[in-house]
Amino acid sequence: MKSIHEVEITNEHLRNEKYNFQPKLTQELDTISTDFDQEIINQIVLWKINRYAEIDNYTFSLLNSINKEVTFLNEALTKQILGNLLSTKGIRLAMASTILRFKNPKIYQIIDQRVYRFIYGENMPKYFSSIETQVELYLAYLQKLKNVCQEKLINFEFSDRIIYELDKEFNKHEKINY
């Protein structure tokens, strides 16, 4: 391993032209001239952990077409929204399902390793061959979760949280795959 004391630093290195980490957000954070608030701190944290996901306007319009009061799943719309979300850099299935869950918890819940393994009795797949595979897995998961909730009298709107805690209690010695 080389250190800064062992390499020659040229003028090209000093121009700061190669740095390309989260360019749009970096530019935004570099130009903050207001007092910091929680939103700015959240952006900094997301920048640092490289989890800032910039969603395009079309995906926002799809997402915002979900009515928070609706209690039935529009499968075609869900497939379209999930496809767009999963095509966004920084968004994987767990994050996409989290966005959907906060949009309407009556029809969407977070897909989580703990909840998945507690309702299926096996670990959630780590790798997916395609976006379509992830979408189909999530739709099947929602149906399975609804069935389990009806069978066990669990409120679907809070099922991701309830079953998460059940898994922590009953599978505390089982490893989580991060």
The pLDDT tens digits of the residues spanning 64-90 come to 999 999 999 999 999 999 999 999 988
Lowest mean pLDDT, pick from 17-21, 30-34, 36-40, 61-65: 17-21
Q: Where are the alpha helices (DSSP H) in the chain?
A: 11-14, 23-30, 38-48, 57-63, 75-86, 93-103, 113-120, 131-152, 159-170
Contact criterion met (CB below 8 Å) for 99 and 107: no
Q: How many whole angstroms separate alpha carbon 134 and alpha carbon 85?
A: 11
Mean pLDDT score, 26-38: 91
Quick one: pLDDT band at residue 178, thresholds 50, 70, 90?
low
Q: Is the pLDDT of residue 126 over 70?
A: yes
Dist. CA 97–CA 26, nearest whole Å: 26
Average pLDDT, rounded, for the chain: 92
What was the pLDDT predicted at 96?
A: 95
